[in-house]
Amino acid sequence: MGLNYRAAVLHKSGTPLSIEQVSSPDPAPTDVVVRMRAAGLCHTDLEVIDGSLRYPLPMILGHEASGTVEEIGSAVRNVKVGDHVVLSWNPHCGHCFYCDRDLPILCETYLGEGPKGVHFDGSSKARTPDGKNLTHLMFLGAFAEVCVVPEQQAIVVPKDIAFDRSCLIGCGVMTGVGAALNVADIKYGDTVMVIGCGAVGLAAVQGAVMAGAGHVIAVDLDDKKLALAQRLGATQSVNATRDDPVEVARAATKGRGVDVVLESAGHPVVFCQTVEAVRVGGQVIWLSKIDVTKDVSFRWGSLMGEKRLRRSSYGGARPLRDFPLLARAYLDGKLKLDELITGRAKLDAINLGFDDLRAGKSIRTVIEF
């Protein structure tokens, strides 16, 4: 009979999301039907709304979410009705060239189907009342009362963690904490600089602390965000409107530069600062992005000295392993999530939430269903 529910649909870039009735077909044998409970507003969603990230429209946005399993297909084995799940936006085949090389974020099917806005099997799981297919952001489309996903994208987490916290694990927290724990090679006592203290950067600060960094320098333009970074473990804060992060990095390390830079600001000037602030032989992990058609120029000498530069999209995520671990870290008091939530709203107020994000007023607004 299919499913009927409300969703936030983007029809044209530069316009508000529209809350509409949509429908989905009956789940396929490997599908899981998730009743959404919470979804975070992420900059990636905003990039699609504003047009710097281009997908076929109309589209249901949303990719940082959690909910309750309501129905499962006949072939589903590891997820059951009633489970609490965090959704993963990186499905992968497990056997292509890149999956065989332990790089599921580069899975050939994932990269091939993602730009089309379809699900991993190439289909659309939602349509308008007149039968027109809707696309889905990052294989999910989670700004909806219901989300239909393959089993591998529904990751079971402990029921003790509240949905408005667990949803953050699905993108921002995984990306930031994972960059420190899975991607960067942070040694005990290292000096780490985190540039950009939004949700991803604040998670990276915590990840650096968890990895054993001895000195964590947080950089941002907002004193309130810097104060929060220090509450989450940063040992020094730098407002880049008043102080040069590169000079601070060198002053803190006897002129060498920091061991690791974790970047989450998304600006050409910042990308250049990262390679100037890191020491020779050090590591730079870029977590943010700008419009993919834009150029970024570097001073060539800043790239020399055996520096290791890497772009990371999802913090080296292994969702089946990492999501439950991050949920447990929160429940054990080792990972702070409450502090990242600066607002809560219902689905009907989603555009106001994105206005706040666009204006830099929020870290994470969570839509509660």
**Mean pLDDT value of segment 267-284:** 97
Amino acid at the residue 37:
R
pTM across the whole model: 0.95
Give the model confidence (pLDDT) of 129-159 as tens digits. 988 999 999 999 999 999 999 999 999 999 9
Q: Can you give the pLDDT at residue 20?
A: 96
Q: What is the pLDDT of residue 292?
A: 85
Mean pLDDT of the chain: 96
Residues 285 and 215 in one domain: yes
Would residue 193 count as lying in a domain? yes
The range of the structural domain enclosing residue 198 comes to 176-311
* Domain membership flag for residue 357: yes
Burial class (CB in 10 A: 0-12, 13-18, 19+), 102: exposed
Q: List, for residues 239-269, the tens digit of each pLDDT value.
A: 999 999 999 999 999 999 999 999 999 999 9
Residue whose entry in the numeric block shows the structure tokens 């990492």: 322
How confident is the model over 280-294, as pLDDT tens digits? 999 999 999 888 889
**Pair (238, 131) in one structural domain:** no
Residues 300 and 223 in one domain: yes
Amino acid present at 349: A
**Both structure tokens of 355:** 């206005």
In this prediction, residue 35 carries a pLDDT of 98
| Residue 284, domain member (yes or no) | yes
Q: Are residues 358 and 230 in the same domain?
A: no
Residues 41, 104 within the same domain = yes
State how many domains the chain has. 2
> What pLDDT sits at residue 2?
76
List pLDDT tens digits, range 46-102.
999 999 899 999 999 999 999 999 999 999 999 999 999 999 999 999 999 999 999
What per-residue confidence (pLDDT) applies to 1?
53
